[in-house]
């Protein structure tokens, strides 16, 4: 007979077991993105960036043709990682860039979490390549976008069929926190949620303002 125990499942992410790779969140790429509006995309990019920084997640920032074509990375991301080098590429597939792979190997984590533009090209490429090399891959679906909803959806399906695990931006942050009794990151998590968590964040503001509520009690 199976016996349950109060412990997290091995498939859940924690801050120390993965590398977050943020790919091509750039002006030129966002102009043609239609599967998600720019406001939500930038908001979700900010949410996961601040969560990753606050929880100490190993994070790689990479761009494509930044100076010659695609433009700067979203300030919502770079402001969360002040001074961090952006690894600029010529390859559409991040996993074919030697500098990025050198950083992945230096970090040495077995799990890769991906987000960026466009889903069908710049996320599918590294996702399928990393899976092929034995990495576990997670994709933050609502922090990705494509030229159409069709393109985004088919790309997500293709990655899931290959073994990638989809998640959302808010889910990513809450999975890192996972227990409101973790006081050292409680204010961080609720603070990010209040600023970037949409209706959930408004609920936190309301509960704390009206009742002095706290999820940890």
Q: Both tokens of residue 162?
A: 């290959």
pLDDT of residue 90: 95
pLDDT tier at 146, thresholds 50, 70, 90: very high
- The pLDDT tens digits for 13-65 are 999 999 999 999 999 999 999 999 999 999 999 999 999 999 999 999 999 97
Helices 198-211 & 183-196 angle (0-180, nearest 10): 120
Ranges for all domains in the chain classified under CATH 3.40.50.850: 18-178
Span 89-94, mean pLDDT? 96
Instruction: Let me know if domain 18-178 sits in CATH 3.40.50.300.
Output: no
| Contact predicate 21/45, CB 8 Å | no
Is 144 annotated as catalytic?
A: no
Arithmetic mean of pLDDT over the chain: 95
- Give the pLDDT of residue 217: 55
Catalytic residue among 87, 122, 128, 156: 122
């Amino acid at each position: 007979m199976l016996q349950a125990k109060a412990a997290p499942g091995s498939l859940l992410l924690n801050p120390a077991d993965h590398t977050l790779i943020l790919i091509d969140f750039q002006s030129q790429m966002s102009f043609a993105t239609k599967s998600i509006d720019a406001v939500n995309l930038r908001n979700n990019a900010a949410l996961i960036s601040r969560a990753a920084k606050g929880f100490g997640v190993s994070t790689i920032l990479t761009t494509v043709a930044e100076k010659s074509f695609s433009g700067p990375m979203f300030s919502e991301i770079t402001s969360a990682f002040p001074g961090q080098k952006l690894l600029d590429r010529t390859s559409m597939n991040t996993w074919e860039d030697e500098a990025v792979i050198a950083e992945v190997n230096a970090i040495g984590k077995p799990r890769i979490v991906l987000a960026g533009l466009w889903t069908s090209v710049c996320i599918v490429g590294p996702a399928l390549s990393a899976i092929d090399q034995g990495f576990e891959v997670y994709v933050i679906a609502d922090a990705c976008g494509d030229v159409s909803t069709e393109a985004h959806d088919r790309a997500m399906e293709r990655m899931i069929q290959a073994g990638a695990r989809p998640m959302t931006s808010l889910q990513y942050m809450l999975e890192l926190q996972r227990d409101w009794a973790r006081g050292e990151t409680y204010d961080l998590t609720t603070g990010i949620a209040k600023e970037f968590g949409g209706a959930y964040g408004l609920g936190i503001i309301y509960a704390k303002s009206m009742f002095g509520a706290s999820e940890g009690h």
